[in-house]
Structure 1
Amino acid sequence: MSILKNALDSITVGLEDFESPDERRIISSTRNIFAGILLLFKHKLCELSPQGSDEALIKQRVLPELDATGAVNWIGKGKKTVDVQNIKDRFESLNISVDWARLDRINKYRNDIEHYYSTLNSESVKQLISDSFIIIRDFIVDELGGDPKSLLGEGYWKILVDVNEVYVKEKQECDLTLEKLNYYTDEILHALQEYHCGECGSGLLETEDLGEAAEATFKCRACGTEAHYDDIVNYAVNEFYADEAYSAHKDGGDTPVVDCPLCGFGTYIVHEGICVSCCGSATHECVRCGCNIPPEELSDGDICGYCAHMWEKMKAE
């Protein structure tokens, strides 16, 4: 059985799981759809593998061998195939385009569904299927030169299209309700629009309130879970900046968020100069030396850590 057929079978079985009234098959749906996408990628690598290389591009272990003429050939070894990071690296080297941010979102959501969410239903996986629809459609058309409707079959293709259209419409409706509120900064609005329900993982957060966001109650359209602003805003903002914070920690640079130096429990957005909980703003420029105060040194005072240290040292003398 070809890798392409395995990929298509995995995706269609995932869609059957999604359509099933048995909610126990929700997790199986997410696994199968994500596995199918990876198999599509591996199929492309197989197509590009040199003849006689034992499908080297999909093997994690590739070793050089000399042929009868003394030429060096790279041959795939073993049964272990490439993982997501290997695929990213090889696609980048081969100039194969994939929306990796979207795929990472699918992968994270799949993992969260399996391990963290206690309430699941078909509504919970609409975003995953909507994102998957775009990845599958674009890759089959742009990289495989195929027709996704023909490959998957009209019935399964219609499920993907319909779920995507419904999710996009519902997401737009939910986002519009959030936009009617007043926020300390628009960054909070953007973070809440990216927030996923802690119970079911859905991204369909909405509100019936008007006025100040800090006084509002929010509801997940998928499972009905309600939460006050204070219950979700810090988590939402920290998740929104998670990638940027990780890059700053790994590669250097200022972190985008810190614990609020004023109230101590809210998340402080550094470049906005505001706490999402108390709306407080710290002093960012040291009044003694005039330098910018690093995010980690922000406090309820107005001097940087070095100047504070020197001041204490002078007093001790």
Structure 2
Amino acid sequence: MTLFTNAVESIQIGVEDLSKNDDRRVLSAVRNVHAGVLLLCKEKLRRLSPDDEILLAQRFEPQPNDKGEVAIEGVGRNTVGADDIKKRFKTFHVALDWKRFDGMADIRHHMEHSYFKGSRKRARQAVADAFLVIRQLLVEALQEDPLKTLGPECWTALLENADLFAAELQACQVTLKSVRWDTEAAARALPDFACPSCRSSLVRQRDPNNKSQPNAALICAACGESAELGPVLSLAFDETFGAQGHIAVKDGGEPPISTCPECSEETYVVKEGRCAACDFTLPEDAACAICGSGLSAEDYYEHDGLCSYHAHVASKDD
């Protein structure tokens, strides 16, 4: 069996598992589809490789050959994992929707290591993410026809699952968009809302008619667990503002989101000067007890009334 055939059959089996009315096969569906996507990635690296398929090796090193020349050879039997695939795709300018790729892998991880309640909806999300990644790999990276490659039954099932999940997600997000969020940051992060328990994006309001943030009670439509607003916003902000925060820290600036001194969630919006979860704002007299300079939320939270400089000096004196 070729690598490509193995990839295709893994996806087909996973889609068949999801279509069965048997909760015992739900995790198998996610595992098989995820494995198929990884194999498609490896197939792309195989096609990029010389005849020895060197790009599939996890490690390779220069070795002298029998002609006294230097050859690059694979070391060991291990093949590339997800992190190596990302690096090599970047090196060879192979585009892929890594956010959906990681989302699919994250759902598989949580399904394997936590409870199974409501897992069919979580599986639908994983397969819906996989559908777009599969299409991108087949059409753009491998120049293959998805309908012909996967077969009409499998491809139609993937399309229908993606449509069903999209409808469920839209229904959930309608209940969130009706809320008058207290911060612009919270409204901006709505597309990244996810359940802290299972990481599904099917988070909705219990009362779809509620329009007040303080009265917003959230529940996950995938696992059925209640979801506190603070942890939901913290996860969403990490997705929405994570890259911006990384750049700010790298350049010596202030990240857009910091820890709230009141509720301890990563939900304090620096630009708006308030916590998106509990509405905490810094007291007007929040200043360093030594130099009198105004305190940031981070200083107020971490340094007990001192600016970062004088907190550092005080720690050295201790």
* 1:16 paired residue number: 16
CA RMSD of aligned residues (A): 3.2
Amino acid at match of 1:166: L
Aligned partners of 1:240, 1:218: CA distance in 2, in Å? 14
* 2:307 paired residue number: 304
Matching of residues 203-282 of structure 1 within 5 Å: 203-207=201-205, 208-225=208-225, 227=226, 231-242=227-238, 244=242, 247=246, 251=250, 253=252, 254-261=254-261, 263-265=262-264, 267-282=267-282
Question: With structure 1 as the length reference, what TM-score do the two structures score?
Answer: 0.83
Q: How far 1:135 sits from its partner (Å)? A: 0.5
Q: How far 1:251 sits from its partner (Å)? A: 4.8
Q: How far 1:144 sits from its partner (Å)? A: 0.5
Aligned partners of 2:66, 2:306: CA distance in 1, in Å? 73
Whether the aligned pair in 1 keeps the contact of 2:218 and 2:229 (CA below 8 Å) is: no
Unaligned runs of 5+ in 1: 313-317
Amino acid at match of 1:40: L
Amino acid at match of 2:298: E
Matching of residues 1-317 of structure 1 within 5 Å: 1-51=1-51, 53=52, 55-198=53-196, 201-207=199-205, 208-225=208-225, 227=226, 231-242=227-238, 244=242, 247=246, 251=250, 253=252, 254-261=254-261, 263-265=262-264, 267-282=267-282, 293-298=295-300, 304-306=307-309
Q: Can you list the C-alpha shifts for 1:95-144, whole angstroms capped at 9, x where unaligned?
A: 11111122112111211121134413322222211111111001111110
Whether the aligned pair in 2 keeps the contact of 1:238 and 1:257 (CA below 8 Å) is: no
Whether the aligned pair in 2 keeps the contact of 1:117 and 1:199 (CA below 8 Å) is: no
Q: How far 1:149 sits from its partner (Å)? A: 1.0
Aligned partners of 1:57, 1:284: CA distance in 2, in Å? 59
Whether the aligned pair in 2 keeps the contact of 1:283 and 1:301 (CA below 8 Å) is: no
Q: Percent same amino acid at aligned positions? A: 32
Q: Can you list the C-alpha shifts for 1:69-92, whole angstroms capped at 9, x where unaligned?
A: 433221223321011111111111
Unaligned runs of 5+ in 2: none
Aligned partners of 2:198, 2:309: CA distance in 1, in Å? 46
Distance change >3 Å, CA 193–CA 284, structure 1 → 2? farther
Q: How far 1:223 sits from its partner (Å)? A: 4.6
Distance change >3 Å, CA 10–CA 292, structure 1 → 2? farther
Whether the aligned pair in 1 keeps the contact of 2:106 and 2:199 (CA below 8 Å) is: no
Count, aligned residues: 304
Aligned partners of 2:299, 2:183: CA distance in 1, in Å? 22
Whether the aligned pair in 1 keeps the contact of 2:287 and 2:294 (CA below 8 Å) is: no
Whether the aligned pair in 2 keeps the contact of 1:286 and 1:304 (CA below 8 Å) is: no
Aligned partners of 1:77, 1:272: CA distance in 2, in Å? 53
Q: Can you list the C-alpha shifts for 1:146-198, whole angstroms capped at 9, x where unaligned?
A: 10111000000011111111212221222122111111113224445423335
Q: How far 1:301 sits from its partner (Å)? A: 9.6
